[in-house]
Structure 1
Amino acid sequence: MDKQRHWDSASRDRTTFALKCEFPLRLKLLRWLGRQTWLPRGQDLLLRMLCDPQTAPHFFFEIDFFGQRYRGDLAHYIDWVVFCYGAAPYSEVSLLKEVVAELRSRRCSPVNFFDVGANVGHHTLFMAPLADCVLAFEPFPPLRSLIEEKISLNALNNVVVVPFGLGERDETLEYFPGKGANPGAGTFLPNGQIHVEDSVKLTVRNGDLLCEERNFPRIDLLKVDVEGFEPFVFRGLANRIGRDRPVILTELTDASRDGFGSEAGFRASFYKSARFAEVTGRNGCEFKLRRFVYEASFEALIVPPEMAEFVETRLDG
């Protein structure tokens, strides 16, 4: 199907969003199937047969999102996941919710969430009602505008959008936007197989210097998802990570492993005696924590030793 066509011939643009009552029957079925977590296998295949985000027509929608309003486009992969499963991914947001509850049970001070690689603002929007302050770092203007749209739609007053990438030093780098249905898969590390040819120059800031310059608050919970650039983010935030000892949720890929150099290099990026776990979970399902294996884990939870019990009591198997 031509991506410029619209569901049921309904004319929609970025200023017109379909509400739940206006969804075509096929899309109502799509959302229903996405919430059938009892399906043992093949759920994603069924959903893609109904509506493949790689070929879907643009359909701009507005849905409830944990008490907030979420606007998206079915032709955008992250929005498609939210539309189908409720969150992108549900395992991460369910974990973040439990981490915030744990942090609040341990102290009375505010909880501050730093979203590095904020993309379309999914995690930022989810965390806004849970955290006292949310800082969303997103250097790519088209994505940043989607974050600002969510802030405006939900009248959020505790979110600060920071228009820079974070890295090891202050510099201007070539940024390679994601292509097709996943523009959020952009990176500062060129990979011609999955990214568009045309790059743009974006500003990257050393995290420690930027935090000091802007007088940013303590980091209590840090999420980093920057398509292989994670080692540079952590090096630039080394002082703050050592001082604040935040709980950290980060992606781990072959590209980021190359940047860390070794498991020892990865572990040295954090505070002493940190506790590590792998985060897993099917789309639409609660998180599971498993034993961390550096060479095989795709997502890592890092907590300071005083929170080791949080991990130990939740390890699966």
Structure 2
Amino acid sequence: MSLAHSFYRVLWRQSWLRPRLRKSVYKKLCARGDQLDFPFSKDFYGLRFEGNLNNSIEFSIYYYDAFEKPLLYFLGDTLHNINSSQPDSDRLTCFCDVGANIGQHSLFMSRLADQVHAFEPFAEVSNRLRRHIKLNQLENVELHRIGLSDATEKLTFYAPTGRNQGIGSFDASTTGKGNQAAGELALARGDEYFEEFPIGRVDLMKIDVEGFESKVLAGLEQTLQQYRPIIVCEVSYSGEMSFDSVESLLQSLPADYALFTFNTRKTDGSKARRRGARARKTGGYELIPCTDWRESGQDDIIACPTEKKSILPMQGTGRIPVP
């Protein structure tokens, strides 16, 4: 162990360490492969959340109140607009979280949607969501411990090995990120599963499946045609089971969908880090038309039916009404 590593370990144990400095010290320890156990409990938009800093998603919840806060606030704003636009006040709203992971988005949306359906086949993370559903006595969140695909099948799942538990995937190429084969997990064809359960209508859907998105959308073809939800899909550029162009993504969707993305990049395509750091704290966001396709990396892309563009929130200040 280097002298610097030892120094950071000693510094981490000091009770007088201010939160901002403690965060910096922990990140330096993690960069040296030292993932210290640090459990915590805090308020999460009116819910109780129990996590550990050794999970990178929960690290963000502890220090920034949320992981991917702009996306979280966008989902909340969108559902608020959907509710406001409905002439039938008795109709229940439904949010589907495909690739729920530890369930942060599902927990947040449980305060806003009447029904939340969370899909997560990897037990190591879905168990955390199940614990928080029970801890907060949430009756409107249904955890489906299964993945969605274009066929009912079992496939090898490649599990993350480090702090970032959000990169597990059925895409074998993710071994390049350090993932390791963790056995086969069950998947269902989305349309068949939604009909059998039944889940009913879908107003808003988030898809985050680390390169498996084309198979998820293909399996939900009839559901998307029937309900025409607003969709937020994380796209992994260059992934074998993702998309290779704006056109290929549009072809996987019903007719008359428009694509947008979050304004998180500079004109040269690189990430705007200062803007991102500010948004991570405030939750502010801005949507722009999605016209470019990249060779690598990931972006959240919003697919909106043209008849719902008038209710799509194009920007947010970072304020979200939570009951």
Answer whether TM exceeds 0.5 for this pair.
Answer: yes
Partner residue in 1 for 2:112: 130
Task: After TM superposition, give the deviation of residue 262 of structure 1 in Å.
Answer: 3.2
Once the two structures are overlaid, the 10-residue window that deviates more, 168-177 or 48-57, is 48-57
Once the two structures are overlaid, the 10-residue window that deviates more, 196-205 or 277-286, is 277-286
Is residue 121–residue 136 contact of structure 1 (8 Å, CA) maintained in 2? yes
Call closer, same or farther: CA 1:96–1:222 in 2, change over 3 Å.
Answer: same
Q: State how far apart, in whole Å, the 1-side matches of 2:21 and 2:232 are.
A: 30
Alignment of 1:213-228 (within 5 A): 213-228=196-211
Call closer, same or farther: CA 1:81–1:6 in 2, change over 3 Å.
Answer: farther
Partner residue in 1 for 2:271: none
Q: State how far apart, in whole Å, the 2-side matches of 1:215 and 1:6 are.
A: 54
Q: Counterpart amino acid of 2:305?
A: P
Pairing partner for 2:260 from 277, 281, 284: 277
What is the SS of the residue equivalent to 1:26?
A: coil
Partner residue in 1 for 2:243: 260
Aligned length, in residue pairs = 289
Pairing partner for 2:58 from 79, 91, 99: 79
Once the two structures are overlaid, the 10-residue window that deviates more, 280-289 or 223-232, is 280-289
Pairing partner for 2:48 from 40, 56, 69: 69
Alignment of 1:1-317 (within 5 A): 24-26=15-17, 28-29=19-20, 48-49=27-28, 55-107=34-86, 108=89, 109-190=91-172, 191-256=174-239, 259-279=242-262, 280=264, 281=276, 282-285=279-282, 286-296=284-294, 298-311=299-312, 314=315
Q: State how far apart, in whole Å, the 1-side matches of 2:112 and 2:21 are.
A: 29
Is residue 7–residue 57 contact of structure 1 (8 Å, CA) maintained in 2? no
- Describe the superposition over 1:167-192 as per-residue Cα deviations: whole angstroms up to 9, x where unpaired: 01000000000111012311101132
Q: Counterpart amino acid of 1:186?
A: G
Give the TM-score taking structure 1 as reference length: 0.83
Task: After TM superposition, give the deviation of residue 81 of structure 1 in Å.
Answer: 1.0
Q: State how far apart, in whole Å, the 1-side matches of 2:212 and 2:246 are.
A: 16
Q: Please give the root-mean-square deviation of Cα atoms over the aligned residues, in Å.
A: 2.8
Is residue 246–residue 291 contact of structure 2 (8 Å, CA) maintained in 1? no
Q: State how far apart, in whole Å, the 2-side matches of 1:28 and 1:53 are.
A: 20
Task: After TM superposition, give the deviation of residue 74 of structure 1 in Å.
Answer: 0.2
What is the SS of the residue equivalent to 2:288?
A: strand
Q: State how far apart, in whole Å, the 2-side matches of 1:49 and 1:8 are.
A: 10
Which stretches in structure 2 are left out of the alignment for 5+ residues?
Answer: 265-275, 318-323
Call closer, same or farther: CA 1:47–1:111 in 2, change over 3 Å.
Answer: farther
Is residue 7–residue 59 contact of structure 1 (8 Å, CA) maintained in 2? no
Call closer, same or farther: CA 1:197–1:209 in 2, change over 3 Å.
Answer: same
What is the SS of the residue equivalent to 2:201?
A: coil
Q: State how far apart, in whole Å, the 2-side matches of 1:181 and 1:315 are.
A: 30
Q: State how far apart, in whole Å, the 2-side matches of 1:111 and 1:25 are.
A: 47
Is residue 278–residue 293 contact of structure 1 (8 Å, CA) maintained in 2? no
Is residue 116–residue 225 contact of structure 1 (8 Å, CA) maintained in 2? yes
Q: State how far apart, in whole Å, the 1-side matches of 2:103 and 2:134 are.
A: 12
- Describe the superposition over 1:140-166 as per-residue Cα deviations: whole angstroms up to 9, x where unpaired: 111111000110111101010001100
Q: State how far apart, in whole Å, the 1-side matches of 2:44 and 2:159 are.
A: 27
- Describe the superposition over 1:1-58 as per-residue Cα deviations: whole angstroms up to 9, x where unpaired: 69xx99977xxxxxxxxxxxxx954363368x8xxxxxxxxxxx78834876963311
Q: Counterpart amino acid of 2:222?
A: N
Task: After TM superposition, give the deviation of residue 196 of structure 1 in Å.
Answer: 3.5
Call closer, same or farther: CA 1:262–1:291 in 2, change over 3 Å.
Answer: closer
Call closer, same or farther: CA 1:126–1:159 in 2, change over 3 Å.
Answer: same
Which stretches in structure 1 are left out of the alignment for 5+ residues?
Answer: 10-22, 34-44
Q: State how far apart, in whole Å, the 1-side matches of 2:65 and 2:41 are.
A: 12
What is the SS of the residue equivalent to 1:232?
A: helix
- Describe the superposition over 1:267-303 as per-residue Cα deviations: whole angstroms up to 9, x where unpaired: 0122222122112453123122122134147111111
Q: Percent of aligned pairs with the same residue?
A: 29
Higher relative contact order (CA 8 A, sep 6+): 2
- Describe the superposition over 1:217-242 as per-residue Cα deviations: whole angstroms up to 9, x where unpaired: 21111000000001100000010011
